[in-house]
A = this chain, B = another copy of it.
Amino acid sequence: MSGMAVGRRAGSYVCGVDAAMDVIGGKWKVLILWALSERPHRFGELRRAVPGVTEKVLAAHLRELEADGIVHRREYEEVPPRVEYSLTPRGVALNEALEPLGAWGKANVLGQAPEPVA
């Protein structure tokens, strides 16, 4: 269950939706967004909030989200290293734009068989 695609067509998009898919097209990105929408998280917190993700992939996704202007990375210069990730205004807007999709998924994928369309 890996090796999807979508990824980084960098400008050759047909519509806004597939452009957005490029941003949230990682396996754990929406889960990261969801966690950060509640409150800022530290790296270790995120790892626990997104069960199953590895450090490598989590770090890679965070870097991409940061590059896309979705998450903000704040590094505290303290003795025990501490980094906090939070949503940028753009990230907040993305999350809000994702809400109808979440409602659809909740109603049409979760909690029922794939058949009952009505």
Interfacial residues, chain A to chain B (CB-CB below 8 A): 1-9, 13-27, 30-31, 34, 67-69, 88-90, 93-94, 96-110, 114-115, 117-118
Contact = CB atoms under 8 A, between A and B. Distances in A.
Q: How many copies does the complex hold?
A: 2
Contacts of A22: 109
B16 A115 contact: no
Nearest to A118: B89
A117 B97 contact: no
Given A17-B102, A19-B110, 12 more contacts: A4-B7, A5-B27, A15-B106, A17-B98, A18-B31, A19-B109, A20-B102, A20-B104, A69-B114, A90-B108, A97-B103, A100-B100
A114 B20 contact: no
A99 B101 CA distance: 9
Contacts of A106: 15-16, 19
A109 B23 contact: yes
Given A31-B18, A109-B19, A110-B19, A94 B104 contact: yes
